[in-house]
Amino acid sequence: MTFKAPFLPLFDELLPYLMPMWGKDRTDEEKRIAICIFDDVAEHCGDAAVKYYGTFLPFVLEACNDTSTDIRHAAVYRVGMCAEYGGVAFRPYVGEALSRLDVVIRRPDALHPDNVMAYDNAVSALGKIWQVHRDSINVAQVVPAWLNCLPIKGDLIEAKVVHDQLCSMVERSDGELLGLNHQYLPKIVGVFADVLSAGKDLASEETATRMINLLRQLQQTLPPSAMASTLSSLQPQQLALQSVLSS
């Protein structure tokens, strides 16, 4: 969107035509396009677009649990974008957003090829809510829920974003991410191992380097027993991890 905030007066003129696209009598494609238009406005117009959140976010949140997988995919992606860029304007919607994303993630067929893109983007959105709105959530519930979804492997573009986000969380964590008595350490190290073993599919070269450096830092800073116990619990990946840590 080239013009950014100066585009909004024109957007206001388009609203009478855009809003009916959310109607129950409209096609899935019309609804998806309406979601995408709002996303572009929210992403590219920054703070100037905040005034539209009250109008559009309720529709987007409802669409997260639509019967159409394409609409679900579009909606959960937009929730992530709004969580990332919306600041305090998104805060009143955090609770419902978490509830809607949880439904997407817990679907019995969430990892079916038809649904995995929506699943991966819901996981990404959950991580962004935790990262940006941690004061508005129950961290003790959200952290394990997010970690248990990793690594994501369907949407390779979003996978790179999410796995890099995991590195950022580990780097700046005050112990919150590792959990009480490092209870989440095996999961985090296991995700790193899975991502690194996938080559360039699930992480950029830069992210892979960050993961390797973080593994070495964890080995150096954590009690030896914690890392030894973690490695022993990851039998399939143990040799690869030991190779990384010893190089």
Closest CA to 131 of 97, 86, 89, 165: 165
Give CA–CA dist 192/163, Å, rounded: 8
Radius of gyration of the chain from Cα atoms?
Answer: 20
Confidence band of 1 (pLDDT split at 50, 70, 90) = very low
Question: Comparing 162 with 9, which gets the higher pLDDT?
Answer: 162
pLDDT (tens digit per residue) in 189-244: 889 988 988 888 999 999 999 999 998 888 888 887 777 777 777 766 665 666 66
Give the residue carrying structure tokens 């959140």: 53
Q: What is the DSSP string of 96-108?
A: HHHHHHHHHHH-T
Average pLDDT score over the chain:
86
Which structure tokens are listed for 10? 């024109």
Question: What percent of the residues of the chain are helix, what percent strand, and what percent coil, each to the nearest 5?
Answer: 75, 0, 25
Closest CA to 180 of 144, 234, 133: 144
pLDDT of residue 64: 95
The CATH superfamily label for domain 1-149 reads Leucine-rich Repeat Variant (1.25.10.10)
For the chain, the domains span: 1-149, 160-247
Give CA–CA dist 122/124, Å, rounded: 5
Q: What is the DSSP letter of 150?
A: P
Question: Comparing 234 with 121, which gets the higher pLDDT?
Answer: 121
User: Distance of CA 232 to CAs 69, 237, 238, Å?
Assistant: 40, 9, 7
Give CA–CA dist 110/105, Å, rounded: 6
Give the number of other CB atoms < 10 A from CB of residue 105: 20
pLDDT of residue 4: 60
Give CA–CA dist 193/237, Å, rounded: 6
pLDDT (tens digit per residue) in 81-111: 889 888 888 999 999 999 999 999 999 999 9
Give CA–CA dist 49/72, Å, rounded: 22
Q: Does the pLDDT value for residue 175 go beyond 60? A: yes
